[in-house]
Amino acid sequence: MKTGFIGLGHLGKTMAKRLIGEGIELVVWNRTPEKAADLKAEVAASPADLAAKADVIFMNLFDSEAVWSVISGTGGLLEADCSGRIIIDTSTNHFEDVLHFHEMLRETGASYLEAPVLGSVVPAQQGNLTVLVSGEKRPYEKVLPLLEKIGKTIFYLDKPSLATRMKLINNLVLGSFMATLAEAIALAEAAGIDKAGAIEMLLAGAGNSVVLTAKKEKILKEDFSTQFSSALIYKDLDYLQDLAFTLKRPLFTGSVVKELFGMTFSRDIEDQDFSAVYEVMKGL
């Protein structure tokens, strides 16, 4: 069963490498073909070309606009015969757009699984992502062995859009943790406390978390090379605001945190790792 992979950004490329390392024969496509140069994989000319060669197709793209383009744009998946194909979309989409993706691909005879992942580059390298999946059960069960090569923990939520909604809710927590930790560390420094010491004390106390453990070295060294960008968390929180509006529920923390990550754009650091929100806090 030949597998395709569309989208070779920081996370997508790491996932593709993981699959190749696990013995999966890949055909790949990326808008910038040079990103595939160091992969041991066939490079397709377009998403439609890839769909003609692969039975299962992973996607990992920036946002729903990019997914729309890959599915229905020029050279998109819909230009190929998608009958029998299973599309595994690991992008973090808008919760309404995924409903259209399910319908569009079902009409072609394909199966669409929304499968956003929790975790970024490091757990992806290790096959330790958490994968949230919504879609029909039969195709899910068919590709489960592939999902298990990238994910240590997999949750199946059959109703379309639920996996995407949960991913956005998860990123409310992720973004809030990161912003709070960044503010606490910057405040400790302003109060005359050594940064390294402040981080160790937070790790021994209320700040002890997967987020601080993962981002400790980045903040210490102020090396914000990208694993998961501020632009991405900003986009996810924007989608979350739409979800809260649809549910007629307030979004207190998420709205404030979104604007904090929005400040990375005015500093031209939005494409750096989202832990660079520390730079925003330090500069206040």
92-103 mean pLDDT: 98
CATH superfamily entry for domain 3-158: NAD(P)-binding Rossmann-like Domain (3.40.50.720)
Residue ranges, comma separated, of all CATH 3.40.50.720 domains in the chain are 3-158
Which pLDDT does position 192 carry in this prediction?
98
Q: What pLDDT shows up at residue 219?
A: 98
Q: What is the mean pLDDT of residues 77-100?
A: 98
Written as six digits, the tokens of 273 are 């790792």
- Tell me the average pLDDT across 224-253: 98
The answer to whether 171 and 44 have CB atoms below 8 angstroms apart is: no
Does the pLDDT of residue 14 top 90, yes or no?
Answer: yes
Which CATH code is given to the segment(s) 164-282? 1.10.1040.10
In sequence order, the β-bridge partners of residue 86 are 56, 111
Q: Where do you find CATH 1.10.1040.10 in the chain?
A: 164-282
- The pLDDT assigned to 95 comes to 98
Q: What pLDDT band is residue 161 in, cutting at 50, 70 and 90?
A: very high
List the 117-118 sheet strands across, edge first: 117-118, 129-133, 151-156
CB atoms near residue 119 (< 10 Å): 22
What whole-number percentage of the chain has pLDDT above 90?
99
Give dist(CA 5, CA 41) in Å, integer.
10
The average pLDDT across 234-240 equals 98
Condensed to tens digits (0 to 9), the pLDDT of residues 189-213 reads 999 999 999 999 999 999 999 999 9
Express each pLDDT in 20-43 by its tens digit: 999 999 999 999 999 999 999 999
Residue 169 above 90 pLDDT?
A: yes
- Angstrom distance (rounded) from CA 98 to CA 32: 25
Asked if pLDDT for residue 1 goes beyond 90, the answer is no
Phi-psi region at 119: left, alpha or beta (left = phi > 0; alpha = psi -120 to 50): left
Query: Would you say residue 66 has pLDDT above 80?
Result: yes
pLDDT of 92: 98
pLDDT at residue number 260: 98
User: With pLDDT > 70 as the criterion, what percentage of the chain qualifies?
Assistant: 100
- Calculate the average pLDDT of the chain: 97
